[in-house]
Homo-oligomer: A and B are copies of this chain.
Amino acid sequence: MEASRPLDALNNARNKRVIVELKNGSQILGLLRAFDIHINVVLDEAEERKEGQLLRKLGTAFLRGDTIILISPAQ
């Protein structure tokens, strides 16, 4: 995804699977459905993982922007 502004990169990832890393060390994977300028994001089919292992399935998840470290395409 090529981008001149950071939010363009998030827009390119919309409806694709992403990994979201949180400040508390957990990773949430899911389909990126929505985001805003605070980097609040909504994932569908979300699940939490730790060191590659599934911890739990969340379904839809609203993540508050200020808890997020990075967002990257899931591989």
Residues of B within 8 A of A22 (CB): 69
| Chain A positions near chain B (C-beta within 8 angstroms) | 1-10, 13, 22-25, 28, 33-36, 39-42, 46, 57-73, 75
Copies in the complex: 7
Nearest-neighbor residue (CB-CB) of A37 within chain B: B38
Contact A4 B34, CB 8 Å, known A40-B39, A75-B59: yes
Residues of B within 8 A of A58 (CB): 70, 72
Is B70's CB under 8 angstroms from A33's CB?
A: no
Give the CA-CA distance A2 to B34 in the complex, in Å.
9
Residues of B within 8 A of A9 (CB): 33-34, 42, 60, 62
